Amino acid sequence: PEIHAPHELSPAEVEEYGAPLSFVGAGYYNRQAFFRGLTDYRFRIWGNGWPDNSPLAPHIQRNGARIDTETCVRIFNASAVNLNLHSSTCHEGVAPDGDFVNPRTFEIAACGAFQLVDRRGLMDGLFEPGELETFGDLAELREKIELFLNDGEARRDVATRGRARVLAEHSYRARMTELLASMVAAFPHMAERQDQRLEKRREILANPEDHPGLDELLDSLPRDRWYGIDDVWKASLRKEGPLSRADRIFMALGTVELNLEKVPE
């Protein structure tokens, strides 16, 4: 949510990135076929893989260049309706048996932006009615485009509910929590071993006098990221004055690690 989030855009940014109808993504077969039914709209298409000799060519932005994440966020925020059609290489529109839900569904919602997304088999387990608006074919899509282009309040209401759902249940943190819970359930011995390591760590940190130099060494390391043995012993090398017992231990471990990397498999 720190990256995909609502943004206040300047009038110039709205002019550059916005449109009544926008799509961000690659030019898969079904998208090329389906979007031909939308060329009467002021419709902007962003992304690569789009042919420059099709009826869609006037709608392609930046000559079909790949779009970075920062620009995607601006587009989502600037557009009245963000179109989200899952890719398919064997259908000419909505895949009737499509099940998975793509990341863009969550990214647009996290931006507090409005989207129209094709129905997916797994969608009902992720969002409640009123948190997303879906379509099943071109006729339904066009009907909803007309409806929501003319009702900004309805767009905002749906987008607000969708964002609340994503922040509550569909962040990367939430997914990693689910993944780790599944791993713990499948491999309980790994969780037990990790608990033992954490308990040992707490014990060491609670008794720094038993480990001369460790607290000073830890204070010299960055607090905002993970670090490995090589980071620790390099921090020891940068120290001025005599090395502590903790410094010498980690430098020895670093030397062992470097030598192990040279051992052929």
Residue 83 is which amino acid?
L
CA 65 to chain centre: 20
Give the start-to-end residue ranges of the domains of the chain. 11-171, 208-262
Are 261 and 254 within 8 A, CB to CB? no
Instruction: Tell me which of 3.40.50.2000, 2.10.10.100, 1.10.510.10, 2.60.40.10 is the CATH number of domain 11-171.
Output: 3.40.50.2000
- pLDDT (0 to 100) of residue 183: 86
CA dihedral 226, 228, 230, 234 (to 10 degrees): 40
209 in Cβ contact with 194 (< 8 Å): no
Cβ partners under 8 Å of residue 155, min gap 6: 80, 81, 114, 148
- Identify the pLDDT of residue 259: 63
Cβ–Cβ under 8 Å, residues 217 and 236: yes
pLDDT profile of the chain (265 residues), mean per 10: 94 98 98 98 98 96 97 98 96 93 98 98 96 98 98 98 97 91 87 86 83 80 74 78 82 70 57
Query: Which contiguous run of DSSP H or E holds residue 24?
Result: strand 21-24
Instruction: Find how far residue 158's CA is from the centre of its chain.
Output: 21
Report the predicted TM-score, pTM, of the whole model to 2 decimal places.
Answer: 0.75
Phi-psi label, residue 62: left if phi above 0, alpha if psi -120 to 50, beta otherwise: left
